[in-house]
């Protein structure tokens, strides 16, 4: 009996790396889809060098068709996307093409291949935009407020259409904020933990942020990818909200991060008025009851443990680079 084959797009990102590690531990053959094979091979962790890398372009239908036809993956996890952080309003045409139409290109390749490949899309809580209720679940009214959220919603809608029209196994994981030591430094969580470590080591003096009262539902990325795998092991494809069900402020994140290194955040954190956006009227927090009941999934890593993990990793990295 052959090993199952999984294709992961965006394999070099936070979620892609965690999913690769997880699937390899389960005996999968992993194909990593990247824009530049040579560059990716240099950056890939040593214990993941065993995976097959293929050159991938979310804008090229022929390339996507050929890879899916020739590699014959049993499962596809799509993490390739213009990221959030500061980029939700940048390059709306390119963003829509990659995050929206790029997903349809994968679905089309699967449809033409006419095989039982299962597909999971990394969607986003940004599809809710400014929600009218809290917590948000799979039935909450969607109202995206950015090109990023609109593109993700388009992809989610097309997944529903392909699932119903063609009987395909395709689903969307509606991901709330999920963090880790692998999070990009443009995201506020990693900006905080990286700067805390720098301050402790005498490499920085202050941390400038927007509103400290903004609330987010923060979970551990390593937990969320396990839920996405569970989604593809079900009898039929469906969509699930993945979240912790808890909202914490940026202030709380700072407090825990600085305390991890014996510091008081109030001595170092500065709110920049020009960077402050109006806080949401309704808290952005997810209800993962459906995932809990149908997938048997619960987030394992709590808020304080997550923050501590990220601070420790940045301290280790900076100490290592300064030797």
Angle CA 318–308–185, to nearest 5: 50
| Catalytic annotation, pick one of 79, 148, 224, 240 | 148
| Catalytic annotation, pick one of 126, 146, 172, 179 | 126
Residue 162 a catalytic site member: no
Residue 280 a catalytic site member: no
- Quick one: three-class SS letters along the chain? CCCCEEEEECCCCHHHHHHHHHHHHCCCEEEEEECCHHHHHHHCCHHHCCCEEEECCCCCHHHHHHHHHHHCCCEEEECCCCCCCCCCCCCHHHHHHHHHHHHHHHHHHHHHHCCCCEEEEEEEHHHCCCCCCCCECCCCCCCCCCHHHHHHHHHHHHHHHHHHHHCCCEEEEEECCEECCCCCCCCHHHHHHHHHHHHHCCCCCCEEECCCCCEECCEEHHHHHHHHHHHCCCCCCCCEEECCCCCEEHHHHHHHHHHHCCCCHHHCEEECHHHCCCCCCCCCCECCHHHHHHHCCCCCCCHHHHHHHHHHHHHHHHHHHCC
Smallest CA-to-CA distance from 99 within 108, 88, 112 is with 88
The rounded radius of gyration (Å) of the Cα atoms in the chain is 20
CA distance 301 to 235: 28
Residue 3 a catalytic site member: no
CA distance 70 to 49: 21
| Catalytic annotation, pick one of 96, 123, 124, 172 | 124
The catalytic residues are 124, 126, 148
């Amino acid at each position: 009996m052959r090993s199952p084959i999984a294709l992961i797009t965006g394999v070099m990102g936070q979620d892609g790396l965690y999913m690769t590690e997880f699937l390899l531990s389960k005996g999968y053959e992993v194909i990593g889809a990247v824009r530049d094979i040579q560059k990716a091979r240099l950056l890939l962790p040593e214990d993941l060098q065993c995976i097959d890398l293929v050159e991938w372009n979310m804008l090229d239908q022929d390339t996507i068709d050929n890879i899916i036809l020739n590699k014959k993956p049993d499962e596809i996890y799509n993490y390739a996307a213009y990221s959030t952080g500061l980029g939700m309003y940048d390059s709306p045409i390119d963003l829509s093409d990659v995050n929206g139409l790029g997903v349809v290109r994968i679905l089309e390749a699967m449809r033409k291949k006419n095989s039982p490949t299962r597909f999971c899309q990394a969607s986003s809580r940004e599809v809710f935009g400014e929600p009218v209720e809290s917590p948000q679940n799979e039935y909450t009214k969607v109202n995206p407020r950015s090109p990023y959220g609109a593109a993700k919603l388009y992809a989610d809608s097309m997944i529903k259409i392909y699932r119903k029209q063609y009987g395909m196994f395709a689903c969307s994981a509606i991901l709330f904020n999920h963090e880790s030591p692998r999070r990009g430094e443009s995201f506020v969580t990693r900006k905080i933990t990286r700067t805390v470590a720098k301050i402790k080591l005498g490499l920085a003096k202050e941390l400038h942020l927007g509103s400290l009262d903004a609330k987010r539902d923060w979970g551990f990325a390593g937990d969320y990818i396990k839920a996405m795998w569970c989604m593809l092991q079900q009898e039929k494809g469906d969509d699930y909200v993945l979240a912790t069900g808890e909202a914490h402020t940026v202030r709380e994140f700072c407090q825990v991060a600085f305390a991890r290194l014996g510091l008081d955040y109030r001595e170092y954190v500065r709110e920049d008025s020009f960077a402050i956006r109006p806080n949401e009227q309704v808290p952005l927090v997810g209800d993962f009851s459906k995932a809990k009941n149908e997938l048997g999934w619960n987030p394992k890593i709590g808020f304080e443990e997550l923050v501590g993990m990220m601070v420790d990793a940045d301290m280790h990295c900076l100490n290592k680079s300064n030797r």
